[in-house]
Amino acid sequence: MIKKPDLSGGSEVKDGFWGLGKKISIGFLDLLLPVSCLFCEKTVDRHKLTPVPICQHDEQELPVLRPPFCRLCGFPLGSSKIVSLNQFEQITESVLSFDTPVCGDCRLTPVDFEFVLAGFSFTGPIRTIVHDWKFNRFQPWGEWLAVKLGRLLMDRFASDGWDCLLPIPLYYKKYEERGFNQSNQLASKLGEIFDLPVSRLLYKEFATPAQSALKREERLTNLKNCFKIKDSYRDFFPGKRIIFVDDIYTTGATLKTAARAALTAGAEKLAAIVLARSLPKQAIKSFL
């Protein structure tokens, strides 16, 4: 029998009185004020108490990664790498199958993952939304993005044979500053969608400079061995099949560092789900 770790929440939001007050005031203001789309300023249809500020038209224009994908790292292999959400919905299931080749990078340096699945291209409107979510701390984006991502991955992923989702942790000071961990938010909703438990088994031991400020080759060394296993979860790892969840994949350095910690502790196999991945400038130009 699998010994499951505490899935109840680890260090997730403890808002207390102020958090509750904030939630009430956000909900109350929403009832009074119309919500405008971040992109075109049209008033957004109100179907939730705290709707996300995007209209239906702009939602359909979100940049989605276009199949076929490298079956290991998930990099889009076709000559056009991005489609709008609207176009993606018309792509047939056969193109989404796992029966696709491996990209040049993975052939040279195989990744530690069975697969990496990503939904969106980290560009244009997705960049704006992620900024609003993480830096303006508009938390309703978390669940909304997870639902969209879940839908995009539905035909590419089956949860059988996997034990849990493991969100990439933030350093505690960053967590306190932001008030939430974006990867926890994604993982919580994806766990519901794919019927997998969410286990916060890792913590980040020290702060590292923002990956976005560094060159490709500096990213892996920047992270060193920053991810550690919580002592009480050490016995959980041997033989486990774990899927990491993160928001953005750029060079994969964050996931590789987390993978090292999990494999050293005895994890059997690993995979990853990310909201969005960065693509080379050339690939983005044709879409914008």
Q: Say if strands 202-204 and 227-229 run parallel, antiparallel, or are unpaired.
A: antiparallel
Region near Zn ion per CB under 5 A, out of 16-24, 50-58, 179-187, 212-220: 50-58
Should residue 265 be labelled a site residue for Zn ion when binding is judged by CB under 5 A?
no
Region near Zn ion per CB under 5 A, out of 62-70, 84-92, 264-272, 280-288: 62-70
> Judged by CB under 5 A, which of 35, 106, 265, 274 binds Zn ion?
106
Should residue 186 be labelled a site residue for Zn ion when binding is judged by CB under 5 A?
no
Nearest CB to Zn ion, comparing residues 82 and 202: 82
Should residue 77 be labelled a site residue for Zn ion when binding is judged by CB under 5 A?
no
Site string for Zn ion, 154-183 (x = CB under 5 A): ------------------------------
> Judged by CB under 5 A, which of 5, 10, 35, 58 binds Zn ion?
58
Should residue 72 be labelled a site residue for Zn ion when binding is judged by CB under 5 A?
yes
- The footprint of Zn ion (CB under 5 A) covers 37, 39-40, 42, 55, 58, 70, 72-73, 75, 103, 106
